[in-house]
């Protein structure tokens, strides 16, 4: 059962971050972190669109996606981000536009999907984080 995500207020959203520590399904133990500040509202809308799209699929398609494909996509994002490491640090600026979008769609959105369907319990190592500007 999908839980409704909080829809970010575009005017106060300052960043969105996705944290994925380890993938026990595929054996990838490296994980990744992706933080977006410029365009955070756009990314948040894309994440919500992915959630909405999955909710519209048949129960069988959703089950198949949630059982393995989603974890394979997260591993692919991890592999992509780790391929940018230079001198011990991630260098996401080395990614092309399409690869960067892949990180957002297959990274952040899939983490949000796992959270929404109760397959990922957010903690300090895993989850989606929306950061808002506080109003006075």
Cβ neighbours around 119 below 10 Å, total: 12
Q: What is the DSSP string of 7-21?
A: PP-TTTEEEEEEEE-
Asked whether residue 38 is domain-assigned, the answer is yes
Q: Please measure the distance between the N-terminal and C-terminal CA atoms of the chain and give it in whole angstroms.
A: 37
Asked whether residue 1 is domain-assigned, the answer is no
Asked whether residue 120 is domain-assigned, the answer is yes
Domain total of the chain: 1
* pLDDT for the residue 111: 95
Q: pLDDT below 50 — which residues of the chain?
A: none
Asked whether residue 6 is domain-assigned, the answer is no
Range of the domain at 76: 15-132
| Interatomic CA distance for residues 46 and 24, integer angstroms | 26
* pLDDT for the residue 56: 96
Strand order in the sheet with 13-20: 32-36, 13-20, 127-132
Asked whether residue 59 is domain-assigned, the answer is yes
Asked whether residue 3 is domain-assigned, the answer is no
Per 3-state DSSP, the chain is made up of helix, strand and coil in percentages (nearest 5) of 45, 15, 35
* pLDDT for the residue 86: 83
Q: Is the CB of residue 9 less than 8 Å from the CB of residue 26? A: no
């Amino acid at each position: 059962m999908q839980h409704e995500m909080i829809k970010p207020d575009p005017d106060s959203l300052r960043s969105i971050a996705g944290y994925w520590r380890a993938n026990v399904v595929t054996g990838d133990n490296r994980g990744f972190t992706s933080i977006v500040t410029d365009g955070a509202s756009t990314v948040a809308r894309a994440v919500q669109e992915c959630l909405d799209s999955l909710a519209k699929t048949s129960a069988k398609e959703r089950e198949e996606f949630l059982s393995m494909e989603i974890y394979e996509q997260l591993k692919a994002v991890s592999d992509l981000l780790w391929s940018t490491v230079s001198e011990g640090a991630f260098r996401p600026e080395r990614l092309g536009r399409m690869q960067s979008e892949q990180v957002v769609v297959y990274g952040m959105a899939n983490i949000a999907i796992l959270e929404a369907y109760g397959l990922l319990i957010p903690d300090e190592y895993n989850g989606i984080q929306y950061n808002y500007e506080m109003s006075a």
